[in-house]
Each structure stands twice: as C-alpha cells, then as structure tokens.
C-alpha cells in the first residue's frame, strides 16, 4: 500500500513537469459480456481477462442447462483492482459496498482485488461473474454454500482466453499459484476439521472470504453436479436462487429423498481424497443402500488401477472378521521404463506416505449421523498392514490402487482380491 502510494505521488510530480497525468490512468477494455476497468500494469492481462470471461459465460450457460439465448442484456461492470483508494476516489467503489478481502458482486457490478498470480485473479473475476450470472438468470444465488460453491465450481478452470475450460480441477499447484484451496483442505484433514455435508449446507453468510468455507462448498456443489442421480436436483436448486433461507435446503433434500445416506458416504470419501488432478470421471463411487449383506462365502473381485474407490458390492455386517488376500500385477507408467507393481506397492515411490501401486482398503460405515458437525476421518490401510480385518459396524468395503489422482489414466492390469471369512 505504501509503495503504490509513493509511485502515485511520484507520478503526479512528473506529470506536473511533462504534461498528461499518465500514472493515474485506468485501463478500460470492453468485451461482449464484460466491461473491465483496471489498474493492472499489463494491458495484455486485462485483454486476456475479458476474453476468458466471455468464453466462460457460454460454458456457464451450458452448465446450467440453458439455451444460448438465456442471457438477455447482461454486461458485467468489472473492476480489477490493485489500488483500492484510487477506485474509491473515482467513485468506482460506492460507499454501500462493504469491505471485502478478495472480491464482491452486486447485481451486474463486480469488484476483484488483483492477486499474486494471473490464475488467481482470473479465478476471482470468474467467481464474482458467476454470482452476477446467477442474479441475472435466477434472481439470486441461493444460500451461502450454494452461492459460493457454485461460483467456485464455475471459476476453477484450465487454460485462458478462448482456450479456457471452466469447471476443471487444477492439475497441479503450479497450474494455480496462490489459489490455495487444496492447501486449506489438507490442513482441515490433518486437524480432523472436515465438515459433514450438513455442516456445509448450514454455512452462514460471511464476508471474510474464508477459504475453507468456499472450498468445502465447492466440493459439495461438485459432487451434486457430477453424479447423474443428483444433478437434476442440483440444477433445480439453482432455479430456486432467490431463496436463501432453510427452504432452499429442505427442497433440495426432498428432491434427493432417500439418496441422502449414500450421498453422505460418498462425501466422506471425496473429502478424504480430493486434491490436484482429481478426476470425477474416475472417482465416482458405486454404492447402493440395496447392496446385499455379505453372506460369508468367499468373494473374489478385480480392482482396476485406473479408477478411484471400488466397492466389493456387498455390505459387511458388524462383527465380521475377514481375511483379505490379493495378487496380480499392474503397470503404473511406461517411462522411462515400465513401472510394474504388485499389491504391496513400489517402495521407492510414495503418494500420501504410502507406496505407489499399493492396494488400499477402506471400511466405509453405512450409518450416517445427520447431527455430526465434523467427519470422523476414514481409516485407510494398505493391504500389507493387517490381512485380517475386524469390522466394528455395518460397512462397505472398498479398494483402490495408491497413485496420484492425475496419474491414473495410463495405469493398466488389475489386482485380484479375495475375501474369506476368518476364524
Ligand atoms: Zn462469492
């Protein structure tokens, strides 16, 4: 702040000497759906923001399952700001706009602070723009979790300009510098502070820009929008955007009906895993409340290394003792030479502290406590740790191969897993 004021002052002095006031000029760029005013130093970045925003809007319209002509007369008046005092002095931030840490949207007007990376500035502009679009299309953006979660969902992206693709999880930290959502989610996991789905639904409005609140809201909206069985309820909820009270959640819960316990179980897995490169096409988990109870007879299943958690298709009763054995071979990569792994994994390469290629298992409880505030962390174990499994409560038994989320697609082969009753 001090530094930019100094530059401004120096600019004024030189202007007195040499003519027009240059340091003081704001850049303005006009697009189809956005008019941008900014004090960014780079005209190229300003133009890129406009191009990215216009390209994003058509993708948002498709995301909300609307026709291309759903937008009538929307022009978002956006300020991307480095020096807030200057925008205030020019009347570009009206007094009625509250203090905001990152960005703020009011109708078709949005204000965003320029960040330390172009990615994050673009993310915030898209986030606020997604609010504007919700006001335009649906007369509101719903309660906090839905409002912030869907804006985050439509703001996360790959690429920029005409090549931007929205609703994409960044592949690596280098792709999204300073964005920090997964860093915050990892902290919550380490501190056992991961909220239940119900906690997220109950988030109250706040203007502190709390990254954790935004991140879990984003995860909830992602989950509701990717599973085909939840998606219609999610899209219907958006159309209910003028409702910001408890009625919004009640209608969503009614629409999802008896799918709630499965959703809650999937939420536990998602929250345990989600990270850079997470690919929903591979990470949707097949679970059903109608899965039969395991009868104790030997059960053989194949575990694919290019998918996330895979259920063995039965629910394991409380008190069961299971011997788990696994065999087979998978290939995790071909470069510089084939990386072949067996169920214990490759002990010279690790992901999340466990050998790459290791077969992992997880007991996912069937029961769901709607009153809980935080999630009980899941116990994930490698196949080597404990071949005999004691099951304390009715649970699904799931397996996956340990690998980075963005590295699953070239994996091949499979592990054959056998469950036997242990005595
Ligand atoms: Zn927001």
Distance of CA 6 to the CA centre of its chain: 39
Q: Please tell me the distance from the alpha carbon of residue 52 to that of residue 69, in angstroms, as a whole number.
A: 19
| Å from CA of 206 to ligand 1 middle | 10
Residues 316 and 409 grouped into a single domain: yes
Q: Is-contact 236 146, C-beta < 8 A? A: no
| Å from CA of 257 to ligand 1 middle | 28
| Å from CA of 127 to ligand 1 middle | 6
| Å from CA of 122 to ligand 1 middle | 14
Q: Is-contact 70 60, C-beta < 8 A? A: no
| Å from CA of 294 to ligand 1 middle | 46
Q: Please tell me the distance from the alpha carbon of residue 146 to that of residue 133, in angstroms, as a whole number.
A: 14
| Å from CA of 132 to ligand 1 middle | 10
| Å from CA of 97 to ligand 1 middle | 14
∠ CA 107-109-113, rounded to 5°:
130
Residues 242 and 312 grouped into a single domain: no
Domain count, the chain: 2
Domain of residue 70: give its range: 25-259
Residues 336 and 414 grouped into a single domain: yes
Which stretches of the chain score pLDDT less than 50? 1-22
Give me 112's structure tokens: 């965003």
Q: Does residue 168 belong to any structural domain of this protein?
A: yes
- Residue 274 vs residues 46, 126, 164, 341, 413: alpha-carbon distances, Å: 32, 22, 22, 24, 24
What pLDDT does 161 receive?
98
Q: Count Cα neighbours of 325 within 13 Å in the Cβ-side half-sphere.
A: 8
| Å from CA of 128 to ligand 1 middle | 6
Q: What CATH number is attached to the domain comprising 311? A: 2.60.120.430
What is the pTM (predicted TM-score) of this model? 0.92
Q: What CATH number is attached to the domain comprising 255? A: 1.10.390.10
Q: Please tell me the distance from the alpha carbon of residue 382 to that of residue 360, in angstroms, as a whole number.
A: 4
| Å from CA of 156 to ligand 1 middle | 13
What pLDDT does 387 receive?
78
| Å from CA of 282 to ligand 1 middle | 29
What pLDDT does 338 receive?
86
Q: Which of 196, 202, 223, 231 is nearest to 144 (CA)?
A: 202
| Å from CA of 272 to ligand 1 middle | 24
Q: End of a domain among 225, 259, 293?
A: 259
Residues 125 and 155 grouped into a single domain: yes
Q: Please tell me the distance from the alpha carbon of residue 302 to that of residue 299, in angstroms, as a whole number.
A: 10
Q: Does residue 271 belong to any structural domain of this protein?
A: no
| Å from CA of 106 to ligand 1 middle | 10
H or E element at residue 158: strand 157-158
| Å from CA of 269 to ligand 1 middle | 26
Residues 239 and 283 grouped into a single domain: no
| Å from CA of 189 to ligand 1 middle | 23
Residues 244 and 335 grouped into a single domain: no
Q: Does residue 184 belong to any structural domain of this protein?
A: yes
Q: Please tell me the distance from the alpha carbon of residue 359 to that of residue 309, in angstroms, as a whole number.
A: 11
What pLDDT does 6 receive?
31
Q: Does residue 274 belong to any structural domain of this protein?
A: no
Residues 321 and 399 grouped into a single domain: yes
**pLDDT tens digits along 325-348:** 999 999 998 888 889 999 999 987
Q: Does residue 20 belong to any structural domain of this protein?
A: no
| Å from CA of 240 to ligand 1 middle | 17
Residues 335 and 240 grouped into a single domain: no
Residues 186 and 41 grouped into a single domain: yes
What pLDDT does 349 receive?
82
Residue 68 DSSP one-character state: G
Residues 286 and 200 grouped into a single domain: no
């Amino acid at each position: 702040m001090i530094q930019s004021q100094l530059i401004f002052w120096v600019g004024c002095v030189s202007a007195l000497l040499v003519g027009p006031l240059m340091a003081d000029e704001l850049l303005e760029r006009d697009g189809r759906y956005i008019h941008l005013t900014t004090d960014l130093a780079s005209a190229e970045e300003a133009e890129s923001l406009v191009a990215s925003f216009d390209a994003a809007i058509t993708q948002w319209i498709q995301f909300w399952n609307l026709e291309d002509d759903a937008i009538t007369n929307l022009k978002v008046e956006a300020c991307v700001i480095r020096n807030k005092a200057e925008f205030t002095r020019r009347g570009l931030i009206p007094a009625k706009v509250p203090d905001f840490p990152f960005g703020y949207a009011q109708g078709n007007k949005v204000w965003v602070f320029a960040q330390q990376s172009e990615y994050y500035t673009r993310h915030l502009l898209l986030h606020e723009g997604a609010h504007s679009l919700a006001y335009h299309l649906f007369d509101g953006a719903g309660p906090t979790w839905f409002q912030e979660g869907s804006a985050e969902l439509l703001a996360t992206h790959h690429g920029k300009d005409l090549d931007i693709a929205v609703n994409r999880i960044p592949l690596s930290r280098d792709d999204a510098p300073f964005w920090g959502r997964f860093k915050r989610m990892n902290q919550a996991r380490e501190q056992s502070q991961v909220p239940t789905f119900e906690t997220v639904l109950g988030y109250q409005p706040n203007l502190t820009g709390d990254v954790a609140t935004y991140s879990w809201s984003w995860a909830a909206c992602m989950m509701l929008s990717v599973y085909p069985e939840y998606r219609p309820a999610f899209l219907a909820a958006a159309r209910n955007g003028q409702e910001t009270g408890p009625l919004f959640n009640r209608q969503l819960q009614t629409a999802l009906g008896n799918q709630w316990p499965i959703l809650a179980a999937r939420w536990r897995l998602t929250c345990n895993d989600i990270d850079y490169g997470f690919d929903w096409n591979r990470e949707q988990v097949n679970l059903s409340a109608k899965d039969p109870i395991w009868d104790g007879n030997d059960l053989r299943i194949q575990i694919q290394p290019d998918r996330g958690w895979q259920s063995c298709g039965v629910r394991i009763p409380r008190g069961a003792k299971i011997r788990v054995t696994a065999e087979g071979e998978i290939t995790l990569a071909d470069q510089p030479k084939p990386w072949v792994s067996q169920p214990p994994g490759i002990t010279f390469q690790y992901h999340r502290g466990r050998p790459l290629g290791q077969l992992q298992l997880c007991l996912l409880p069937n029961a769901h406590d709607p009153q809980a505030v935080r999630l009980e962390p899941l116990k994930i174990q490698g196949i080597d740790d404990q071949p005999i499994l004691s099951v304390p409560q009715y649970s699904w038994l799931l397996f996956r191969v340990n690998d980075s989320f963005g590295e699953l697609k070239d994996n091949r082969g499979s592990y054959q897993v056998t469950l036997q009753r242990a005595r």
